[in-house]
Structure 1
Amino acid sequence: MAAELYDAVYKGDVTKFHKLVEQDPYLVETASFSCSRNVLHIATMRGQTAMVEEVLNMNPWLARSLDSQQSSPLHIAAAEGRFEISRKLLVARLSRYEPESRLPAMERVGRGQTVLHLCVKHGKLETLKVLVGKLWELVEAVDEDGETLLHLAVRSTQLES
């Protein structure tokens, strides 16, 4: 059944997705794919915005899951320049009572980089603009190399006026 779920999420087939979840209500939470990715990672990588919404409605906790490369779905969305999905993942709070510092956007990947570092690194400036409005404190975040977004942008020659 996990293979069918993967296929539905990969293709963005929301109808098939719901049928599978009706058959096994725990499928979304228990399914794991290569590189320890969950259905939200897959939907994000494929740019399946409607599927991301469906998964978040069922289980917003999946937004916090890290794959084997320590990337959350938000990190993947930022690196791919999927700003609509990034926006949806940003507002997917894990719990009303959890502090802001526990939002998926606050997670760091390898070398201490934030989602904003990934946007600059991969040249996804439109996504960066959307995220900066929401995450101003990450603009000044320093990674393990002592680099802020500006340092990384200059070094990557992706500085835009």
Structure 2
Amino acid sequence: MSEVLAEEEQKAREPLQQAIQHDNIDLLHDLIVKEPELLDRVSKDPFPNTPLHIAAAEGKFEVAMEMFILRPEFARKLNPKGYSPMHLALQHKQYQIVRALMTLEPELIRVRGRHGITPLHYIACEAKDNNEVELLAEFLCTCKSSIEELTSRCETAVHIAVKNKNLEAVNVLLGWLKQVHLTKILNWKDKDGNTVLHVATSGEPQHE
């Protein structure tokens, strides 16, 4: 019985998947007209993979923005793997969507996902090229309080950048902390009792 229900659920999702794949807002609204409870149904799970998650990961800008307008709460939900739409957009380098979500709701930069990692933590680890380094700076300027968020290991974004030997990110973070007079954060300790300086001098490898 459960297999039959799962199959029916999958068939019901197919038109919505097509709307996302084709980045077609008109088709999306046609589906909602036919089934007003569509978005309620696809997001009923505690950790749903909402249409916004899918659109953000796949770079479907029009549908992603429309979905945010229709259901802004989707932007804060975590999928079964522990990621928000902004996390997924970052992972797939969909930076246009990342910047749009950031503009619409700056606090999304603070959403803690798997292992307590926020979008700021993620980009502090991964920022390699100029676009990603610029995005890190934009995150800091757009949501100043995001620097205070900690991972489940009590790491700041600076801890993460240092542990991953991401010199470009470290320079941006240190420069910004000095500019906004928040260098006290450099004294915060992770779960092992290490400040950023301790980590930098220990040559500690990044934990998996």
Report the TM-score, using the length of structure 2 for normalisation. Answer: 0.63
Q: How far is 1:16 from its partner?
A: 1.9
Q: Is the 8 A contact 2:82 2:113 kept in 1?
A: yes
In structure 2, runs of 5+ residues without a counterpart are 1-11, 172-208
Q: How far is 1:91 from its partner?
A: 4.8
- Aligned to 1:147, what secondary structure does the other structure show? coil
**Following the alignment from structure 2 to structure 1, what is the Cα–Cα distance between the partners of residues 98 and 119?**
9
**Following the alignment from structure 1 to structure 2, what is the Cα–Cα distance between the partners of residues 122 and 10?**
27
Q: Which residue of 2 aligns with 1:118?
A: 122
Q: Is the 8 A contact 2:148 2:156 kept in 1?
A: yes
Matched residue type, 2:164: S
Q: Which residue of 2 aligns with 1:23?
A: 34
7-16 or 48-57: bigger deviation: 7-16
Q: Is the 8 A contact 2:58 2:92 kept in 1?
A: no
Q: How far is 1:125 from its partner?
A: 2.9
136-145 or 20-29: bigger deviation: 136-145
- Select the residue among 72, 84, 108 that pairs with 2:84: 72
- Select the residue among 108, 113, 131 that pairs with 1:109: 113
Q: Is the 8 A contact 1:81 1:119 kept in 2?
A: no
Q: Which residue of 1 aligns with 2:66?
A: 54
In structure 1, runs of 5+ residues without a counterpart are 94-99
User: Which stretches of structure 1, 4 residues or more, deviate above 6 A after TM superposition?
Assistant: none
Spell out, residue by residue over 1:85-127, the C-alpha distance to the aligned partner (whole angstroms, 9 max, x if none). 223323545xxxxxx9xx4433212222211011123334343
**Following the alignment from structure 2 to structure 1, what is the Cα–Cα distance between the partners of residues 115 and 34?**
41
Root-mean-square deviation over aligned CA pairs = 2.6
Matched residue type, 1:146: C
Matched residue type, 2:117: Q
Q: Could you say if the C-alpha distance between residues 59 and 125 of structure 1 is closer, same or farther in structure 2, counting changes exceeding 3 Å?
A: same
Q: How far is 1:45 from its partner?
A: 0.3
Q: Is the 8 A contact 1:80 1:122 kept in 2?
A: no
**Following the alignment from structure 1 to structure 2, what is the Cα–Cα distance between the partners of residues 107 and 150?**
17
Report the TM-score, using the length of structure 1 for normalisation. Answer: 0.79
Structure ranking higher on relative contact order (CA contacts 8 Å, 6+ apart): 1
Q: Is the 8 A contact 2:90 2:119 kept in 1?
A: yes
Aligned residue pairs total 153
- Select the residue among 6, 10, 23 that pairs with 1:12: 23
Q: Is the 8 A contact 1:63 1:92 kept in 2?
A: no
Q: How do 1:30-49 and structure 2 match up within 5 A?
A: 30-31=41-42, 36-49=48-61
Q: Which residue of 1 aligns with 2:174?
A: none
Q: Is the 8 A contact 1:44 1:76 kept in 2?
A: yes
**Matched-pair identity in %:** 26
Q: Is the 8 A contact 2:78 2:113 kept in 1?
A: no
Q: Is the 8 A contact 2:24 2:62 kept in 1?
A: no
**Following the alignment from structure 1 to structure 2, what is the Cα–Cα distance between the partners of residues 78 and 135?**
17
